Amino acid sequence: MKELLKINKVENIDNEEKNTPELEQNPDLANAAYETLGFKGKDFVYTSELIDEVIEKPDFEELLPVAQIFKHKDRINHTKVFLGKNVRSVNFLNQNTIALGQTTNFIENNKIANNIFVFDKKYYEALGKPERESQQSTLLHEEIHRYTSFIIGEYKKIAKFPGIEYCEKFKEHFNSLGIHDVSLEIEFLKEYFNLFEIYKNQGGWLNSIEFITYGLTNKGGVDFLKNIRLHGRELSKRSQDSLNNLTLYDALLDLFKYYYTNLSDDVYASSTDTVKLKFDSVLVSTEQKNKAEQIYLEYIKTLASKNDITKEGFIDFIKTKELGSHI
């Protein structure tokens, strides 16, 4: 997740509600309401469109090599990036922290699938053009999460099993998810956590999931890694053979390039069913949520008890109410 901290003043943005609205406590019902009311966020672009913009004119030079890595595979012509079109659609983590981007990973049809949301670039101006932040940086940050955060998270659950035993446990875990060949993922994780250990020993502050994203797409993170020189003995055999006199940034970029260009479509879904969008509420403004909540409360009053609530009944109520409001 790409966060922006310490917001001083953002006009026309509603702060996060302290209490979850009653309707949102039932996500399935809430999403049905948003879709029926025309609120459900379906504005998206294909990854390739935004990657091409980065390659044509990168906001800073270190974004270019990352964008060029993604161009190696045509899956970017099929993966989607959902755009926040309303300033108030941003996801508030707390009163002073918002998410400029968000990736949700899950298993779908025996593959790792994901939804990516980024803030539409024209609304960065409404945030006062935060220093060193841009839609390009956020996009590449979240695209890296698309292929790394799930396996890193699963590694952390199983990391107590070292060496061969760990590898077998990792394979067994992914086999149980319907994914049968994770040899590349294991190779990536071994080298990745070696680099992460070097980073932490040099005073690095990011966690293992954000190390690669901020390290490759955030100017401050990039500069920090470029100041850490490596020695051959600290690298894997593959890195030693391909790189000389490199920095931690060089090694991390090279590792991600190797991993991404070799990843299998048998492990990662090339696209995600938009019906299963996992964070629709991020793409719905507070005003729209309040309207849906009000209709929901009106619907409940027509019932003998909450046990009588049904999705079909609620949708019919919305359609009747909306039709009546336009007569």
96-148: per-residue pLDDT in tens? 556 678 888 888 889 998 888 887 776 665 665 555 568 899 999 999 999 99
Question: Across 109-243, where does the E strand assignment appear?
Answer: 111-119
Q: Are 219 and 62 in contact (CB under 8 A)?
A: yes
- 91-109 CB burial, b ≥16 within 10 A, e <16: bbeeeeebbbbbbbbeeee
- All structural domains of the chain with their residue ranges: 2-283
**Which one-letter DSSP state was computed for residue 21?**
-
pLDDT exceeds 60 at position 163: no
Weakest-pLDDT range from 131-135, 199-203, 234-238, 281-285: 281-285
Percentage of the chain beyond pLDDT 90 is 43
* pLDDT range class, residue 260, cuts 50, 70, 90: very high
Long-range Cβ contacts of 194-201 (<8 Å, 24+ apart): 194/234, 194/235, 194/236, 195/248, 195/251, 195/252, 195/255, 198/228, 198/230, 198/234, 198/248, 199/225, 199/228, 199/248
Provide the pLDDT for residue 2. Answer: 66
pLDDT tens, position by position, 55-85: 999 999 999 999 999 999 999 998 988 887 6
Other CB atoms within a 10 A radius of the CB of residue 173 amount to 15
Report d(CA 1, CA 217) in Å as an integer. 13
* pLDDT range class, residue 189, cuts 50, 70, 90: very high
User: In the beta sheet, which residues pair with residue 106?
Assistant: 113
pLDDT exceeds 80 at position 92: no
Which candidate, 234, 173, 166, places its Cα nearest to that of 199? 234
